[in-house]
Amino acid sequence: MFLNRYIGILPLIFILSGCETTPEQPAPKTIIKANPVVNQQSKAIEQIAPLNPKELDDVWQRIRAQLSFTNSSHPAVQQRIAWYLSHPNYMDEISRRATPYLYHIVTEIEKRDLPIELALMPLIESDFDASAYSHKHASGLWQLTPSIAKYFKVKISPWYDGRQDVIDSTRAALDFMEYLYKRFDSDWYHAIAAYNLGEGRVLRAIKNNKRQGKPTDFFSLKLPKQTSQYVPKLLAAAQLLKSQKMAFPAIANKNTIAVIPVSGAVIIDNKEKWQQLESLNYGVIRFPAVIDAPHIVVLADEQIEFKAMLANQKSNDYSQWQHYTIQSGDSLSVIAKRHAITVNQLKAFNNLKSNRIRAGKKLILPILADQEIEHKVKSGESLWKIAKYYKVSINKLKQWNNLSSDHLKIGKKLTVFLSNS
């Protein structure tokens, strides 16, 4: 059963829209002959017998047991099947990246009674790379744009980007898919296409076909190349999983992560511990300060240890942070504006319950002492060279500076944050 809460969604925010399941044309024989990999390894993908309980030890098999979309013989799907089969190691990397996230995603989809095929969307969107950025400013596993993310109440600030958090982004992506499903009259192919392209453009394609007396199923629509291949990519992956014509390296069908709520500001000053968490918390932008994040994600078998660490925040070492002595006439708003932070962040970092401050007292600023660097891009420099010089990742450079591509203009100023340790 699907929610009615997004009927009145703002049209200016959503340029996205979906797809329609109608009978498809069989693949011409010439297409099959042009793809010997399909000929030899993926002839007719057949319905498989029900799985036994032991196979459900693997979360991929848990997905496989619930696949419901009809197999497609459309050339675009068959060509993508051929591509997957000609890259047999591709799923090894996908499974490695998906391991911390897939159980959570599948569980959330099942809770909403949505098609299990949606669990494969991060494979198509980001190759299950939670730190991924696109040239259209989309980010994270689900490649949410800033406008979509904010509409569905995903926090984005200089300190936290919930699009790169599996909990926040999965909730928002599924909220969005539920809206699109209702918007496109319960047609999942149209909804999935709209997620990729934009609601308005898919609606226009459907309207154009209706006006010309043409079918309005997904495969009959005139759509940009990226979107015309988007749904086939998803269908091809689902059919290969269903038929077991390609290996999907097993992922344990159990929850491996835990969510620990964060109240206010947190400093994780143990770099070794943070390195264990960083790949689960790409949304936390400025290590070691955890500010604006509603939670951190940890490994399930270490949650007790991390809960204890967060409970003992008062004993943290604040020596590496900037300190500010309050001057006569200062206010929290003035200090916050001067240092490009919010009053709430300043209060959280100093455990202040009110806006009252006194001259002579010291405040701790959530800015690393002597570690915020401004780098001016020179001729011949690239993100790779700059990241290597400062010993930081390219993804972090892009995240700190809100960059959506690897292209840099000479003279552009980049902010770099470095840890003292």
Inter-residue contact 242 to 48 (CB < 8 Å): yes
Nearest to 192 by CA among 233, 152, 132: 233
CA angle at 29 for the pair 40 and 44, rounded to the nearest 5°: 45
* Catalytic residue check, 125: yes
For 244: left if phi > 0, alpha if psi spans -120 to 50, otherwise beta; the answer is: left
Q: Which of 24, 108, 125, 199 is catalytic?
A: 125
Residues 6+ apart with CB under 8 A from 201: 15, 16, 17, 223, 224
HSE-CB for 241 with a 13 A CA cutoff: 28
DSSP state of 347: H
User: Exposed/middle/buried for 180, CB within 10 Å: 0-12, 13-18, 19+?
Assistant: buried
Cα 171 from chain centre: 11
Structure token pair of residue 282 = 């790409």
**Catalytic residues, which ones?**
125
